[in-house]
A = this chain, B = another copy of it.
């Protein structure tokens, strides 16, 4: 169909194109597969999985903000057992490249999860969520503690040879130090960013619009921040980066790659247009043709700063 080479490498992880679907924004793939052929997407990242199933936060869980949304889902998930039994086989059938995102309340739980899931051949890599702003444990406590992130990386690394991605929190002043630690402890890549902590209140009832009080801000509003974080990491640490935050169209993807991302993840946009990933891949092909790029990987870090 096209002569453009869209494939990219995120460290040891080889993707047919740079478009991944972000954790928590496509569930386990079943609903979105009604709209798109998941085998054509770079990779799909599962909703964060934990050892035991989690019920998640009570309603209201989401609210809209200017060019963004707040969510406090609370890592609702089916738990590892159910995931292996019912979710993996489905994704396997669809021939999708599966990355498993893991959230845990303790360092040991991360290790245990990876140990159990490592035998699953369908799982092509792990993304470790140390940055969820919406749960007390395993969320920002880890995400903003550089020692914890280092320990999680090294301990999980010891349990798997699969590509290991650590998903970083933007709610810090020096994200590059976290990326540095990840590299040092053997992580293969970082993904940036998870959501920013935000809140919103009803001015008549005076209660928070989100039951959890604070939530994670995602969507176009955070794109400039996400780009700056990717740039900061890329300028300071030699590690592959997966760019996330506010991507709505192919132009945003190009921007992230120019700034330093080897691949990207689509989050909130899936809710608005579940076909976005497909339209974006088409857009990227056109852009490459228009600008005479044969290999999309040439875009990575191609920024020009005088």
29 sampled A-B residue pairs with Cβ under 8 A:
A66-B68, A66-B223, A67-B67, A67-B221, A70-B224, A140-B173, A144-B173, A172-B173, A173-B173, A197-B228, A198-B225, A198-B227, A198-B228, A199-B231, A201-B255, A201-B259, A203-B287, A204-B291, A207-B303, A207-B305, A207-B306, A213-B231, A213-B305, A214-B228, A214-B231, A215-B224, A217-B224, A217-B225, A221-B222
Cβ of A65 < 8 Å from any Cβ of B?
A: yes
Cβ of A258 < 8 Å from any Cβ of B?
A: yes
A291 to chain B, nearest CB (A): 7
Q: Are A206 and B66 in contact (CB under 8 A)?
A: no
When all copies of this chain in the complex are counted, the total is: 2
Q: Are B258 and A201 in contact (CB under 8 A)?
A: yes
Q: Are A65 and B223 in contact (CB under 8 A)?
A: yes
Q: Are A255 and B304 in contact (CB under 8 A)?
A: no
Select one of B67, B291, B303 contacting A208, CB under 8 A: B303
The DSSP consensus for interface residues of chain A is mixed
Residues 239-265 of A, flagged 1 when their CB comes within 8 A of B and 0 if not, give 000000010000100110011000000
Given the known inter-chain contacts A171-B173, A201-B255, A259-B201, please indicate yes or no for A66 contacting B227, CB distance below 8 A.
no
Q: Are B173 and A302 in contact (CB under 8 A)?
A: no
Q: Which B residues lie within 8 Å of A254 (CB)? A: 203
